[in-house]
Chain A
Amino acid sequence: MKRFNKIIFFVSAILLFNSCKESWLDINVDPSNPTNVVAPVQNRLPWLQHHLLYAHAAAGVRSALITQNLTFIKNTSQQSMSAGWDPIQGMSTTPYQFFFVAVGSNLVDFEKAAEAQGAFHYLGAAKVIRAMGFMLMVDWLGEIPYTEALGENISPKFDDGKTIFEGCIKDIDQAISYFEMTQKAGATPLSAGDSWNGGDVDKWKRLAYGLKARWLNNLSKKSIYNPDEILALLDKAPNSNATSTVVNHVDVVEPVGDVLFGDPLKASVMFSNMGMNTNFRITKWYEDILTNTSNPNVADPRADKMIPWAQFGSGSLQNKLFKRSKGVDMDSDIRMNGGPITPSFNNSSSVLTLNAGTTSERKILPYSNYISGTNSARYGDTLYVSTRSNSIGYNKAVNDQYVWGDGSSAGTSIFNARPDAPTYVMTYAEMCFVKAEIYFNKGNNTLAFEAYKAGIKAHIDMMNVKLTAYGNVNPSKSPMSASDITNFLENGIGTAGDLTLNKIMTQKYIAMSYSHQNWNDMRRYDYDTNVYSGWKVPYEYTVTASAQNKIPSGKHFRRVMQVNHEFNYNAENVKSSHPRALSDDIWSQPVWWDIEE
């Protein structure tokens, strides 16, 4: 019986122990990862800034393919298809995902944390970032969930472009008023977390005004378009290179990349989106606007810097010469003939015999580049140099020179695509061109020319800061000389008398290279060849039936199709977002601000 008592005691003890010990269950806190409520504002901001830039860069490179600044080797990747105006859904995703997942998810928590400590400047930054993200989505996709986005509803409905546009303008206004405020005592200073402007609130304010000017100017097809309001904003926007928002990237070894793609966090977002890739090429049209200026006898000093070079020749390194890349003529049948093709290199001291014994037999000299295959039409594709850059950080290379096996240059890359290339978030140059466009359209050529010239100069000067820092590395990676600059500005860009909208918009295009805004501008002017002279739709589009399913003949590339995540996981809402949301020809449907009123 004693034993029985013992057992009963034991049983009751266990029951008692466990029922009392509710806290035994209080372990549902992830010991490995902190929760969303604890992140300090200064740790949120650099994260948001980087991923937002990445979204813009991804959209920017894709826009450059659409607007025929860039092209791609011929294959079936989304970039190549976009270049040929036969786009596929895969091109939509990256800007969307980087904005919503890497930026959007944080906004509410970020604002809450900033508000709690009265860190108004962080609140201002949050509003700027929110507006920049959603505005990109409107430009890119036309419609997107906005009022229900980033909230409780997990199948948010889409809003129309106008609603989102107005929301973004409201956010920008609010951002400006936050930047006007003094932070509460003890609040984290903006400098603690700002990787763009080092906490310079004035620059942020100018960034906000500049964005508002950019966006309101995108309403040029709308009845509410108000040029004078924009001019007033320009006064408060960046008024010099020093007050522009420029992000200075660095090429250093990084232990870990971003959470979505694993791409570098300090290197230029344009390097990640273009510079890493061997397959991008400059088009002939872009080469033309950089060389066929108002006075073709006076070279635009930027051409050497914005078009890649490579070393050609054979044998020893001394025999090799730098040549500037040719642009790929998108009005030719090159891409219908499988081009351009990426060159190969004979990295040996002996002659390489290709296709020996066949009619296509070829001898390749030692240490020279060549195009493999048997299609003789392609053998000259070595002239098209890739925009690829090497990288210390990402490729663990000794420097950023992309080289063949013998150390000769396989491509110098371009100003915009190197890992330490600056990102121009909001520049004085852009503001000048907005001003020039407005005054020109008002008929005031004098003020227009003044702004136009200031814009070109601002862009050149801004580039030259970085180029000077490089020193003389190669023809592309070296400073522009003061005399070339002066000569170009005085003799190469025309006069107030012969100013045309074409000059303004192509110079703006150059200054805004790889910015998504270039596509906005081109859409605003309906790809008008009077405004973008020499511009043509790609030839392959005209001879590819499937491309014309997407962009019917006579229409233009006006937006991208909704992302397949929305097709799959928010299908009903996508369907009602636009009458043609699911149709092949959605690509040719203008977004809200692009519809003429």
Chain B
Amino acid sequence: MKRRFLLTFFGVAVYASCLMAQQKSVTGKVTSPSGEALSNVTVVVQGTNRTVKTNTDGSFTINASPGEILLFRSLGSVELTQPVGNGNVYNITLASSEEALDEVVVTALGIRKEKKALGYAVQDLKADELMKNKTANIVNSLAGKVAGVNVTQTSGSAGSGAQIILRGGTSLERDNQPLFVVDGVIYDNSTVLGGNSSFDGAQSVSSTNSNRIMDVNPEDVESMSVLKGPAAAALYGSRAAAGAIIITTKKGKEGRAEVAFSSRASTNWVNRLPEQQSKYKRGYYNAAGVLDDYTTQSWGENFDDNDVIYDNIKNFFNNSTVYDNTVSLAGGSANTTFYVSASRFDQSGIVPSTGYDKTTFRFNGDQKYGRLTLGTNVAYSLANTDKTLTSAGLYNSGGTGAMNSVYRWSRNDDMTKYLNEDGSKYRMFGDRQRLEDDIENPYWTINKNLLDDRTERFTGNLNANLKLADWWNLSYRVGTDSYLTRNNTLVSPGGAVKPQWQNGMMSASDYRFNYWSSNLMSNFEKKVGDFDLGALVGFFSEQTKVTNERRVGFDFVIDDFYSFENIVDVNKRFNSTESKRRLFGLYGELRAGYKNMLFLNVTGRNDWTSTLPVENRSYFYPSVGGSFVFSELTKDISWLNYGKLRASWAKVGKDASPYLTVTTLWPSREFLGGLIGTGNYWNRGNPGLRPETTTSFEVGAELRFLNNRLGIDYTYYTNNSYDQIVSPRMGQTTGYILVSVNAGDIYNKGMELALTGKPVVTSNFSWDATLNMARNKGTLDNLIKGNEILYVTDVQVGNAKAASFNGGDFMAISGSRWTRTPDGKVVLDANTGMPTSDNATTYQIGNREPKLTGGFNNSLQYKDLNFSFLWDFRIGGDVYNGTDYYMTVNGMSKRTMDRESLTINGAVQTGTVDGLATYEDRTFTFEADQFYMIRNVNTSGRKIIQDYYSDFYVRESANFQTNTNWLRLRTVSLSYDFTKYVVKNASLNRVVKGLTATAQGTNLLLLTNYKGMDPEASAAGSGVVGSSSVGIDFNGVPSTAGFMFGVNLKF
């Protein structure tokens, strides 16, 4: 038995098909409900390898004997079986799956449920839709397609991550991305930062990083089910407070083994660059009007006609190309199915010297033994990113971020000059300043500071399903997810880094993630009269272990040879950490349905976690939901095909990260006299932590009209998280930089609306359209007393920061303001004419959360030609242009282009009456070539204007903020299915069974009121916790637009 199991599992398609004597030729025609002939429908005799496809007129002929069962299967249609009787002709009508009212979706724990029985909104996307805008990152395929799903591609850098948020954030300080579950096993989607700012200078803004869901090959995905809130995901427990995305990979199907090959090539280019001034050179004027060129800022002289104005930014970026190939083999028999795939994705980055590649393998198989089904899903992947220091560069080495330098590089200097003719480093100011004070040339950075990460991942599960009785099903699944990410950093000798590293530094880290879970579930189902009853109990346990081994070394002994062995021992350090968490849960569910019309669902789960104090480690949470399919009562209303109301409520508990309950010590080190010392770490633990909870409520309705030509799905929800476990950065008079506490409630409420329609349906042409829209409003309350704002570490640009305000918005921007009169005029300093400010940086200046987001997805099919396009839009929500702030301070922004004269309008204080200030309107004008007496100091107008922009102007943080709208043609694709021609061509059809060609454009059009780079920017990548860095544009790698051509072949 074991041998047979193996044989079938490894896809050796040798079946002992026993031919029956009484076979006859069966014919028929397959049509759609509207009578159109359906071609290319697979017809299989169940349990055999006899299979054919229908012709263009829908006809088929196959050998079968009475008692055998014909299975009809086609993409986008509901499967149908037809027993063979005495007749020889069987005409079949296949309903399209969208019209299938008894739609089945994958819900929590992989349980398939009828959509109509659900008390919450759920949307799933199938493979063909996901492939329409395929990138390396499956998450990107959801953008714009599902209401309430917010996907942010964090940068255009090769291998950079994307962030996905469902219905707003539920956590102030932890990852707000949903739980990913692949084939029933939780799949880690962290963004791994291998290094550490205090160890090797690595910070999340040092470079771009992938989020690990990118290890999934999108071609392997059969469907993605989006469970938007705890109501849907309650059974997953703690980790699904932010919703869950259930990915099911492809399975082989009964019938002839099919080989599919898909190949894509694309070219991508920067879609938008920031705007720079082109009038002034490097230099600055002091108060006496004396020009000095000892600066990298551009406050200097005007370019004259003979000067070269370099377009350093534009020259810097490359075109990026992608080659993406997948091959798969799938097939099966009545009791066995298998799917095997391999893929390779190769991308060169828009930043020179960067790139990303990924290789994946997958095997999925099932084997039935009577009542028992055994299955396995195994995937192995390798992902490599070559990258460089972007944005801020390394911690404590201010000038090393390539993007920082690119955007500020003075335009009278040719940025490509980073080496002298003799190959030594070119330094703008030579020895005049310390090397560590240099602003590194970006070409130096990309050629000399090489970073890479290498991830090797294995995921797999074994599952068994035993049908004990018609009404009783038992299943068990054990799964593992493990990967090793190795990060390498090399800072070549001669870099503008801290002195210790100036003769080179290298670091490496091995981040090892090991997860296993075990899930035993017993499912009962029974029909009693008009009632469908169901129950479920289960037991779940999991363990997550993360180890991180870091090494750093500096000062290479032999020149031009970079290895740890080429560093003396005293200059090498290592650091080793391990964290482990465990959790187990008992859960259950009761279901009842009445006459396919009323449905009720109750769940409960209790978790026990290792990460909370013993007295708080156990917590229970319930959910209840139901639906009412009222169209069952209104069957006589012809225009209404389907109507359903639904409601649900759920509560989910959430534990802490490991080891937050105690304060630990720093590793000890040696002090004077050989004394060994140690001290408390800068994060204060809390022995009284409690679990946080998220409660959600939603109501909604689904309606379909006019022969299902028009559908509406509406949801209103609230999603509130209480008693957050946070470790906020605090004032340091506690003795600590970070302090773990339970504090802060987040309130989300919102609406989602999806309209689906088929405006045109004729025999040759159909148009399917979906318009979805969502709005979420996230607010915060009950934060720590006296600390009204929670900031996101790493997302701070000048005075502006990504922040959440107590009693205010969750996705706010904090910043400083100019002082204003009661009627809103800027208060100017009577002496200097400059706007005044109280220097507080704690004002809320904006809210990054959009008022409305959505997508308009269209698919137009004319015979074998498909034209699809997806618009996505956003209305409202502030984006902070930190890049422009940075360029303004450095005299590079286009907004500083007019510096010959400056006029400031406002009011100055004239006195006080009854304790209230009185003001009069005043206008100050400064000319660059004049001098002004400021506080009895004769001051150059050039200096005044320069100070205005670099100091006073930036104190009104909102100057760099835009309430942003956009309309984006996210994808447009044209594909043609050549299968008919291939099938007709006798020489081809022996080999090729199908051919589709696709041309696709991405991000080709972006209409927005935002100036600067693509507003879908994010300063610090995908792994940023809390309110994230979405909406903060700061010196990132620009986004791209692209064109792709691909073919799919079937053999």
- A residues bordering B, Cβ < 8 Å? 4, 7, 11, 14-15, 18, 22, 24-36, 38-39, 42-51, 96-97, 100-102, 104-107, 109, 144-145, 149-151, 153-157, 192-195, 198, 247-250, 253-256, 259, 261-262, 265-266, 276-279, 333, 336-338, 341-345, 371-373, 375, 394-396, 542-546, 548-549, 553, 563-573, 575, 582-584
26 A-B Cβ contacts within 8 A?
A18-B584, A25-B608, A26-B610, A27-B580, A29-B662, A33-B664, A36-B662, A39-B665, A45-B677, A46-B671, A104-B733, A105-B679, A144-B733, A145-B731, A154-B728, A154-B784, A195-B672, A342-B434, A372-B429, A565-B729, A566-B733, A568-B729, A568-B789, A568-B791, A568-B801, A583-B839
Q: In chain B between 606 and 639, which residues have their CB closer than 8 angstroms to a CB of chain A? A: 608-612, 614, 617
CB of B840 within 8 A of chain A? yes
CB distance from B154 to the nearest CB of A (A): 25
B730 CB contacts on chain A under 8 angstroms = 154-155, 565, 569-570
Are A149 and B680 in contact (CB-based, < 8 A)?
Answer: no
CB of B594 within 8 A of chain A? no
- Checking B290, B466, B831 against A545 with a beta-carbon cut-off of 8 angstroms, the contacting residue is B831
A46 CB contacts on chain B under 8 angstroms = 671-673, 675-677
CA of A147 to CA of B400 in the docked complex: distance in angstroms? 42
Q: In chain B between 564 and 604, which residues have their CB closer than 8 angstroms to a CB of chain A? A: 570-571, 573, 576-584, 586
CA of A15 to CA of B612 in the docked complex: distance in angstroms? 22
Q: In chain B between 720 and 750, which residues have their CB closer than 8 angstroms to a CB of chain A? A: 728-737, 739, 741
Q: Nearest chain-A residue to B840 (Cβ)? A: A582
Are A28 and B610 in contact (CB-based, < 8 A)?
Answer: yes
CA of A414 to CA of B736 in the docked complex: distance in angstroms? 35
Are A48 and B842 in contact (CB-based, < 8 A)?
Answer: no
B935 CB contacts on chain A under 8 angstroms = 545, 548, 553
Are B951 and A546 in contact (CB-based, < 8 A)?
Answer: yes
CB of B78 within 8 A of chain A? no
Are A571 and B734 in contact (CB-based, < 8 A)?
Answer: no
CB distance from B764 to the nearest CB of A (A): 55
- Checking A43, A372, A568 against B677 with a beta-carbon cut-off of 8 angstroms, the contacting residue is A43
CB distance from A468 to the nearest CB of B (A): 21
Are B679 and A569 in contact (CB-based, < 8 A)?
Answer: no
Are B671 and A25 in contact (CB-based, < 8 A)?
Answer: no
Are A342 and B433 in contact (CB-based, < 8 A)?
Answer: yes
Are A154 and B739 in contact (CB-based, < 8 A)?
Answer: yes
CB distance from A278 to the nearest CB of B (A): 5
- Checking B433, B571, B675, B832 against A193 with a beta-carbon cut-off of 8 angstroms, the contacting residue is B675
A345 CB contacts on chain B under 8 angstroms = 431
Q: In chain B between 810 and 868, which residues have their CB closer than 8 angstroms to a CB of chain A? A: 829, 831-832, 838-842
Q: How large is the interface on B (under 10, 10 to 19, 20 to 34, 35 or more residues)?
A: 35 or more
Are B680 and A36 in contact (CB-based, < 8 A)?
Answer: yes
CA of A266 to CA of B676 in the docked complex: distance in angstroms? 11
CB of B51 within 8 A of chain A? no
* Contacts A51-B679, A265-B670, A337-B290 known; 4 new A-B pairs at CB < 8 A: A15-B539, A28-B611, A104-B733, A154-B734
B728 CB contacts on chain A under 8 angstroms = 154, 569
CB of B500 within 8 A of chain A? yes
CB of B939 within 8 A of chain A? yes
Are A33 and B681 in contact (CB-based, < 8 A)?
Answer: yes
B661 CB contacts on chain A under 8 angstroms = 28
CA of A145 to CA of B677 in the docked complex: distance in angstroms? 27
Q: In chain B between 413 and 465, which residues have their CB closer than 8 angstroms to a CB of chain A? A: 429-434
CA of A157 to CA of B734 in the docked complex: distance in angstroms? 11
CA of A25 to CA of B200 in the docked complex: distance in angstroms? 33
CA of A194 to CA of B672 in the docked complex: distance in angstroms? 9
Are A32 and B577 in contact (CB-based, < 8 A)?
Answer: yes
B1051 CB contacts on chain A under 8 angstroms = none
The 9 closest A-B pairs by CB, nearest first: A155-B786, A105-B735, A570-B731, A47-B677, A46-B671, A344-B431, A33-B664, A46-B677, A46-B675
Are A156 and B664 in contact (CB-based, < 8 A)?
Answer: no
CB distance from A575 to the nearest CB of B (A): 8
Interface centre among A14, A33, A107, A544 (most CB of B within 10 A): A33
Q: In chain B between 33 and 54, which residues have their CB closer than 8 angstroms to a CB of chain A? A: none
CB distance from A78 to the nearest CB of B (A): 13
CA of A341 to CA of B578 in the docked complex: distance in angstroms? 49
Are A36 and B663 in contact (CB-based, < 8 A)?
Answer: yes
CA of A253 to CA of B198 in the docked complex: distance in angstroms? 20
Interface centre among A36, A109, A265, A584 (most CB of B within 10 A): A36
B662 CB contacts on chain A under 8 angstroms = 29-30, 35-36
Are A44 and B432 in contact (CB-based, < 8 A)?
Answer: no
Are B670 and A254 in contact (CB-based, < 8 A)?
Answer: yes
Are B669 and A338 in contact (CB-based, < 8 A)?
Answer: no
CB of B288 within 8 A of chain A? yes
Q: Nearest chain-A residue to B576 (Cβ)? A: A32
Q: Nearest chain-A residue to B838 (Cβ)? A: A582
Q: Nearest chain-A residue to B663 (Cβ)? A: A36
CA of A371 to CA of B294 in the docked complex: distance in angstroms? 12
CB of B98 within 8 A of chain A? no
CA of A38 to CA of B684 in the docked complex: distance in angstroms? 15
CA of A91 to CA of B777 in the docked complex: distance in angstroms? 40
CA of A199 to CA of B858 in the docked complex: distance in angstroms? 81
Are A151 and B294 in contact (CB-based, < 8 A)?
Answer: no
CA of A465 to CA of B679 in the docked complex: distance in angstroms? 33
CA of A279 to CA of B842 in the docked complex: distance in angstroms? 34
CB distance from B521 to the nearest CB of A (A): 10
Q: Nearest chain-B residue to A11 (Cβ)? A: B520
CA of A395 to CA of B555 in the docked complex: distance in angstroms? 10
Are A101 and B735 in contact (CB-based, < 8 A)?
Answer: yes
B677 CB contacts on chain A under 8 angstroms = 43-47, 50, 193, 265
CB of B468 within 8 A of chain A? yes
A564 CB contacts on chain B under 8 angstroms = 841
B919 CB contacts on chain A under 8 angstroms = none
Are A545 and B732 in contact (CB-based, < 8 A)?
Answer: no
Are A34 and B736 in contact (CB-based, < 8 A)?
Answer: no
Are A43 and B668 in contact (CB-based, < 8 A)?
Answer: yes
Are B676 and A344 in contact (CB-based, < 8 A)?
Answer: no
CB of B682 within 8 A of chain A? yes
- Checking B293, B610, B679, B831 against A102 with a beta-carbon cut-off of 8 angstroms, the contacting residue is B679
A394 CB contacts on chain B under 8 angstroms = 499-500
CB distance from A167 to the nearest CB of B (A): 14
Question: A276-B499, A543-B287, A583-B839 given as contacts; is B672 within 8 A of A50 (CB)?
Answer: yes
Interface centre among A25, A96, A255, A276 (most CB of B within 10 A): A25
CA of A38 to CA of B840 in the docked complex: distance in angstroms? 41
Q: Nearest chain-B residue to A137 (Cβ)? A: B733
Are A36 and B735 in contact (CB-based, < 8 A)?
Answer: no
Q: Nearest chain-B residue to A261 (Cβ)? A: B396
CA of A300 to CA of B468 in the docked complex: distance in angstroms? 101
Question: A344-B431, A395-B499 given as contacts; is B610 within 8 A of A48 (CB)?
Answer: no
CB of B303 within 8 A of chain A? no
CA of A342 to CA of B617 in the docked complex: distance in angstroms? 61
Are B679 and A44 in contact (CB-based, < 8 A)?
Answer: yes
CA of A35 to CA of B294 in the docked complex: distance in angstroms? 50
B787 CB contacts on chain A under 8 angstroms = 154-155, 569-571
Are B671 and A195 in contact (CB-based, < 8 A)?
Answer: yes
CB of B541 within 8 A of chain A? yes
CB distance from A80 to the nearest CB of B (A): 12
Are A156 and B290 in contact (CB-based, < 8 A)?
Answer: no
Question: A105-B680, A155-B785, A546-B947 given as contacts; is B673 within 8 A of A149 (CB)?
Answer: no
CA of A43 to CA of B617 in the docked complex: distance in angstroms? 34
Are A338 and B292 in contact (CB-based, < 8 A)?
Answer: yes
CB distance from A137 to the nearest CB of B (A): 9
A47 CB contacts on chain B under 8 angstroms = 671, 677-679
Q: In chain B between 925 and 943, which residues have their CB closer than 8 angstroms to a CB of chain A? A: 934-939
Are A567 and B682 in contact (CB-based, < 8 A)?
Answer: no
CA of A153 to CA of B832 in the docked complex: distance in angstroms? 42
Question: A341-B294, A569-B787 given as contacts; is B731 within 8 A of A27 (CB)?
Answer: no
Are A155 and B287 in contact (CB-based, < 8 A)?
Answer: no
- Checking A27, A30, A31, A549 against B610 with a beta-carbon cut-off of 8 angstroms, the contacting residue is A27
Question: A34-B665, A342-B431 given as contacts; is B555 within 8 A of A43 (CB)?
Answer: no
